[in-house]
Amino acid sequence: MTITEAQKTVDEWIKTNGVRYFDELTNTAILMEEVGEVARIMARKYGEQSFKGSEKNNDLGDELSDVLFVLICIANQTGIDLTEAFQKNIKKKTERDSDRHHENEKLK
């Protein structure tokens, strides 16, 4: 699935199952909640925290997909073409950082 297809799929899902988009501020708060759930799994799986009994079946892929879904909702409702935005962002990073990371002693 392309990013454009994902944006269309989310839009169709919202219109069919979600009735309407939550407002932009609500979706921003939901995005923060979902990122927090990803952070919790990362801290427990890759960091020094341990899982609570009820958290052992948490699925990182599912939580990342929740983040992507809400991010796409925000893009859709604010008129952002994520394909175009991502391409511009990669170009910007490439121009800005083409040598920076290679010269970073911390990465060697």
Give the Cβ contact number of residue 2 at 10 Å. 9
Task: Note the pLDDT tens digit of each residue in 55-72.
Answer: 767 899 999 999 999 999
Q: Is the pLDDT of residue 53 over 80?
A: no
Q: What's the confidence (pLDDT) of residue 97?
A: 87
Is residue 74 within 8 Å of 28, Cβ to Cβ?
Answer: yes
Domain boundaries defined on the chain: 3-81
CATH superfamily of 3-81: MazG-like (1.10.287.1080)
